Amino acid sequence: MKFKKLGNTNLSVSSICLGTMTWGTQNSEKDAFEQMDYSVDQGVNFFDTAEIYSVPPTAESYGKTEVMIGNWFEKRKSRDKIILASKVAGPRCEWIRGGENNYNEKNIGLAIDGSLKRLKTDYIDLYQLHWPERSTNCFGRREYQINKNEGEWNNFEKILQVLEKFIKSGKIRYIGMSNETPYGLSKYLEISKNKNLPRMMSVQNPYSLVNRTYEIGMSEISIREKCGLLVYYPLASGALSGKYRNGQMPKNARMTLFKGWERMINPLAMKAYDEYYKLSKEINLTMVQLAQAFVNSRPFVTSNIIGATTMDQLKENIESISIELTEEILEKINIIHNNNPNPAP
């Protein structure tokens, strides 16, 4: 396993992070335990979860994943071996504190205490804002359009002041954000510096061969400010495995079971998958190996959050850390990208 520093902290996190969002819907607790056991054996020391998991998010699935992780901590007595990341949900989920804006002291406090109870721990290493309260173009929206009816949202300084209280209480150690924009990232960092408030240590956004939008406005900030990317959807919700090519919809696959990820298999994206399939065959790798090795190689990436519903998937994803792509291969990837940029945001 390889390791990188989380932001400007002294924490070294594994370059592969174990994603957990399917535990409780597509995976049982037994599956979750097997995944955690194997990952730790392979050197993974970084787990990512959220109060809203498992997915798809519903009132019934809320908190299930954290419960499974907590049960594993209790049975394995291994909390001290894991750098644990979780998240407080943003607004618009009616079953979570009424769907209101969540980044005030009351609601962040309720969220942290709920997560700590489910996780059976007294601290969370990295606590993240799951998505902005303000109107942004996250979750697949390509163009930004201001929502004149977006309502009030907690300003950045107040949010940092609230999070500082929970850092001082010992309930959380460091903070990060998710689904953010260059505006949000730069404002948080600016305010932290000018007001001597806690600093965002990471950004968890989507990034993959078919969604390299992070490179446009975010990657330079990540590198220069030491606030790296925690990648989610490195396989475009599984589509970069090639399993949806040629009209296939495999049984028990996410896009077969659930709605909400259709943008990953739009016609332009399907053309890109065919090109990456050809390249992977040419260089004797699987599509998964090619896609994950590319993400792992990016200098602005702190850790790659992998998700798996089977042990074979998990093993292939973790093993990608040992694959080095040559400059020639990277150039061929860039040619495919330039011919069909970011088809699956």
For position 78, what pLDDT does the model report? 95
Q: Give residue 136's pLDDT.
A: 86
**pLDDT reported for residue 170:** 98
Relative to beta strand 12-14, strand 16-19 is: unpaired
Is the CB of residue 45 less than 8 Å from the CB of residue 11? no
Helices marked H in 100-225 = 105-119, 156-169, 182-195, 214-217, 219-225
User: In DSSP terms, which residues pair with 200 in a beta bridge?
Assistant: 175
User: How long, in residues, is the chain?
Assistant: 345
Q: What's the mean pLDDT in 203-225?
A: 97
**Which of 45-49, 144-148, 182-186, 317-321 has the weakest average pLDDT?**
144-148
CA 117 to chain centroid:
22
Q: Where are the domains of the chain?
A: 3-238+294-324
Instruction: With a cut of 80, say whether residue 105 has pLDDT above it.
Output: yes
Band (21; pLDDT cuts 50, 70, 90): very high
* pLDDT on residue 143: 78
User: Binning pLDDT at 50, 70 and 90, where does residue 31 land?
Assistant: very high
Largest CA-CA distance found in the chain, in angstroms, rounded? 55
Average pLDDT over residues 14-18: 98
What is the per-residue pLDDT for 252?
87
pLDDT of residue 328: 98
Beta-bridge partners for 328: none
Is pLDDT above 80 for 320? yes
pLDDT at 146: 78
Report how far residue 170's alpha carbon sits from residue 202's, in angstroms, rounded to the nearest whole number. Answer: 19
What pLDDT, on the 0 to 100 scale, is given for residue 229?
Answer: 98
What's the rounded Cα separation, in Å, for the pair 154 and 22?
30
| Mean of per-residue pLDDT scores for the chain | 96
- Of 38, 53, 183, 233, the catalytic one is 53
53 in active site: yes
Q: Which CATH number fits domain 3-238+294-324: 3.40.50.1100, 3.20.20.100, 3.30.70.270, 3.20.20.70?
A: 3.20.20.100
Distance CA 215, CA 326 (A): 20
pLDDT of residue 265: 94
Confidence label for 214 from pLDDT (cuts 50, 70 and 90): very high
Going by pLDDT thresholds of 50, 70 and 90, the confidence category of residue 150 is: confident
Report the distance separating Cα 49 and Cα 22, nearest Å: 10
Span 215-264, pLDDT tens digits: 999 999 999 999 999 999 999 999 999 999 998 999 989 889 998 888 99
User: Tens digit of pLDDT for each residue in 68-97?
Assistant: 999 999 999 999 999 999 999 999 999 999
| Res. 306 pLDDT band, cuts 50 70 90 | very high
Q: According to the model, what pLDDT value does residue 141 have? A: 76
- If one compares 136 and 214, the residue with the highest pLDDT of the two is 214
